[in-house]
Structure 1
Amino acid sequence: MCTLALLSATAADPAGSEGSDRSGDQGPQLLPDDRAVAAATGRGIVALEAMTHVGPAVPGRRLAAALPVASLFSRRLRWSLAGIVAAVTGLAVASWLTTGDHPLHAAYITLLDIFAINHPALEEAPERKTLQILAGFLGLLLLPVLVAAALEGLGAFRSATALRRPPRGLSGHVVLLGLGKIGARVLVRLRELEIPVVCVESDPEARGLALARRMRVPVVLGDVTEEGVLEAARIHRAHALLALTSADTTNLEAALYARAVRPDLRVVMRLYEDDFATAVYRTLRAAHPAALTRSRSVTHLAAPAFAGAMMGRQILGAIPVERRVLLFAALDVAGHPQLEGRTVVESFRPGAWRVIALDTASPAQRLPDLSSTPGEAA
């Protein structure tokens, strides 16, 4: 295990800058050495620990559940259909016993009588005439039941494809504002973690609405700046608010309104400019010191990954450390004098880079994508 970062020492101070460039020594430290870790008493850390998985692979879970067949029809209609089926069976058995025909032929004649497409039994025995009359009455009863079944089934399918509304008693959920690219990916991750979510989206053509519909996630369509929209998402009983729209003003206004409704609500905002995100964070934390507030600039977090990709490095992932980013990349040691011919300890540069893994396989056996498994690469 190794320490990858030291968290800010001003996490509990409303005047702190929470990881910005102005935090100085009290801000987060990326890739500290052992001396800095030993001296940083009382500060949180981001540690790397090797873990192994023992046991069979767990299959992926389906995000969207299939529509139950029982929900297509009401209980009363199901009982009506069962009664008609029993009556048809009884008439078929009676026809078989009275006429002596083959059971399949008796059932066929009964169905013809029910649908009124058989010849009248004018010259048949009285028992046969009675059965034909009863089958005719049963056919009259069958028609409205079939119409009701068709209407209920159509209504059930329309309800399944429509957006769900938040249940009245919902609480402890996450309100996700915005179903664009980022919002849709966050929604998938939250559902994988089995966290209840209510989405709020103003654009009826947003790309994430189809995903929310398939996953049966409640959605509130409306402008979050309008009165009653966040209330419809049960914001007063929510666990957290994720404001992930592409408009900074919308995210900020939603956060301020949510805090006015519930001061201790956890809030995470997506903001474009990092200095603005820092100022918003400090203001909200000073106004609500007991609540958990996070504001992140997406461009600021993504910039290191883009820069690393332009330098020809294979980006494996990134970990946000407060307002800074710890980037994981793979590169060839050959051609880098800071790494070539050195041990892992000798190549370590505090605050700059650190080698955490070595691929000792031959060039022909190396995976083209280190983030994939050998089975996926094959």
Structure 2
Amino acid sequence: EQIGRPGSTAAGGRFTGWRVPLGSLFSARLRWSLAGLGLAVLVLTGASMVVTGEHPLHAAYVTLLDLFAINDPIDQGKARQILQLLNGLIGLLILPVLVAATLEAFGTFRSASTLRRPPRGLAGHVVLLGLGKIGTRVLARLHEMNVPVVCVEEDPEARGIALARRLRVPCVIGDVTDEGVLEAAKIGRASALLAVTSVDATNLEAALYARSLHPLLRVSLRLFDDDFATAVYRTLRAAHPGALTRSRSVSSLAAPAFAGAMMGRQVLGAIPVERRVLLFAALDVAGRAELEGRTVAEAFHPGSWRVIALDTSGPAERAPDPASPGGQGGGGLVWDLHPGYVLRPEDRVVLAATRHGLGSLLGRRRREDGSRTSGT
């Protein structure tokens, strides 16, 4: 997260940050009106110079006096009188434009501290339900990817509300189970729904209602119980086979990371694949009958584990994590293993395994160690 984002260190001169944000203060129509009035003043100043033959600065001064209606009536020929009347007409037009500019600037500063509403023609966006811990991180990531987002949150003091206000992301404050809340988020024209609140029932109800409005809507649900997430996934997939549905148990996805921390980095990482989690673990071959003395091809157990790398560093040089800076930095790992290589007791391998397969492999090692100790 600390890596610089594109455009954050753009090159510029000494006064790069002094640009006035006129586009955010005044509308395009108002800017065109001001430009037109400025051009009219320049034209009238030039005409005054041609008619009177005066110096440009004096001609501009007289023109401004006529614009603001503070010059005395003059009698210097018909051309000069016509110019004075035109200046008075342009001066009448300047007043409402200045009032409009003042009101727009005031409205811009006033709305800077309020939440934006979804634009009327918005389409193809992502509806993010929930701005708690998970929702805030998801919102920041989607904004970095330039994905249009509309947030829905019940609590106006939620953690992510301040971030949404700062990023100028449209938000809808209300209970998603109430009628009209998802409609206000333009769910009918959205490309996906991310329901990441901490309440499973709210996420599921929002997904079902969104699917009733948009049958082909892509839906991703955050659920706590893995069995419940599996049942929801199968049910929604059967009810809407043409749509993409994903339900994930946050506790199930986070469990391998906690297990890896508790096991001294024996579990190196975890990748969710559909309804399962693929683990990567570093294990010593010694004492494991499924690995010791077998070839790489023979040690492959379909659906449970597979040897994908060999740590060639010596036992005294090994770190808990083969890819850590304290170890070989990944240089001691051989990834392209020959299927006929025989695993030796002093070897350490990196496995790709399912949770059940890794648990079975570790459990057998513990049972074997326990039986040897009791036998001795």
TM-score (norm 2): 0.59
**Superimposed CA distance per residue, residues 319-375 of structure 1 (whole angstroms, 9 cap, x where no aligned partner):** 10233323457x8x9x99699xx9x959x7854675558799x99xx98599x9xxx
- Of structures 1 and 2, the one scoring higher in RCO (CA 8 A, sep 6+) is 1
In structure 1, which of residues 205, 219, 231 is the aligned counterpart of residue 183 of structure 2? 231
8 A contact 1:202–1:223 mirrored in 2: yes
Distance 1:145 1:316, change over 3 A: farther
* CA deviation string 1:13-51 (max 9, x = no partner): xxxxxxxxxxxxxxxxxxxxxxxxxxxxxxxxxxxxxxx
What are the within-5 Å matches in structure 2 for residues 315-326 of structure 1? Answer: 318-326=270-278
Partner of 2:76: 126
1:293 counterpart (245, 263, 269): 245
Equivalent position of 1:86 in the other structure: 39
- TM-aligned CA distance change 1:87 to 1:151, over 3 Å: same
Shift of 1:239: 4.1
Q: Secondary structure of the equivalent of 2:220?
A: strand
State the distance in 2 between where 1:215 and 1:114 align.
42
Q: How far is 1:243 from its partner?
A: 1.3
Question: For the residues of structure 1 that align with 2:32 and 2:148, how far apart are their CA atoms?
Answer: 35
1:225 Cα offset (Å)? 0.8
Q: Superposition pairs for residues 1-378 of structure 1, below 5 Å?
A: 60=6, 69=23, 72-73=26-27, 75=29, 77-78=30-31, 80-97=33-50, 100-115=53-68, 126=76, 130=81, 135=87, 138-155=90-107, 162-165=115-118, 167=120, 170=123, 173-190=125-142, 195-213=147-165, 217-263=169-215, 265-285=217-237, 291-313=243-265, 318-327=270-279, 351=304, 354=307, 356=309, 368=325
The answer to whether the 8 A contact 2:256-2:267 is kept is no
Listed as ranges, the gaps of 5+ residues in structure 2 are 9-19, 330-376
Deviation of 1:190 after TM superposition, in Å, equals 4.1
Contact 2:236 2:245 in 1 (8 A): yes
**Secondary structure at 2:57 match in 1:** helix
CA contact (8 A) 1:163 1:216 kept: yes
CA distance in 1, matches of 2:7, 2:119: 23
For the Cα contact (< 8 Å) 2:256–2:269, is it kept in 1?
A: no
8 Å CA contact 1:263, 1:291 repeated in 2? yes
Once the two structures are TM-superposed, the CA of residue 188 in structure 1 deviates from its matched residue by 4.2
1:358 and 1:275, CA in 2 relative to 1: closer, same or farther beyond 3 A?
same
Separation in 1, partners of 2:266, 2:76: 88
1:3 matched residue in structure 2:
none
RMSD over aligned CA atoms reads 4.9
CA separation of 1:219 and 1:357: change in aligned 2, threshold 3 A: farther
On the 8 A contact 1:174/1:197 being kept in 2, the answer is: yes
Q: Which amino acid aligns with 1:60?
A: P
State the one-letter code of the partner of 1:245. Answer: T
Give the Å deviation of 1:317. Answer: 5.5
Give the Cα separation in 1 of the matches to 2:84 and 2:176: 65
Q: 1:71 to 1:358 in 2, by over 3 A?
A: farther
Q: Provide, for residues 89-111 of structure 1, a one-character-per-residue CA deviation record: whole Å limited to 9, x for no partner.
A: 23423443455543234324433
Question: What per-residue deviation string (whole Å, max 9, x for no partner) do you get for residues 281-327 of structure 1?
Answer: 34445555665433211122112112323445399753102333234
Q: CA deviation at 1:121?
A: 5.5
Counterpart amino acid of residue 73 in structure 1: S
**Closer, same or farther: CA 220–354 of 1 in aligned 2, 3 Å:** farther
Q: Distance in 1 between matches of 2:119 and 2:146?
A: 16
Contact 1:320–1:326 at 8 Å: present in 2 too? yes
Deviation at 1:272, TM superposition (A): 1.7
TM-score by length of 1: 0.59
**Separation of aligned partners in 2, 1:180 and 1:359:** 45
Inter-CA distance 147–291: structure 2 relative to 1 (3 Å threshold)? closer
Task: Output the CA distance in 1 between the equivalents of 2:98 and 2:326.
Answer: 57
- Contact residue 284 and residue 293 of structure 1 kept, 8 A: yes
Letter in 2 for 1:126: Q
**Count of paired positions:** 298
Q: CA separation in 2, counterparts of 1:203 and 1:265?
A: 25
Matched letter for residue 37 of structure 2:
I
What letter corresponds to residue 219 of structure 2 in structure 1? V
Q: Alpha-carbon deviation of 1:247?
A: 1.1
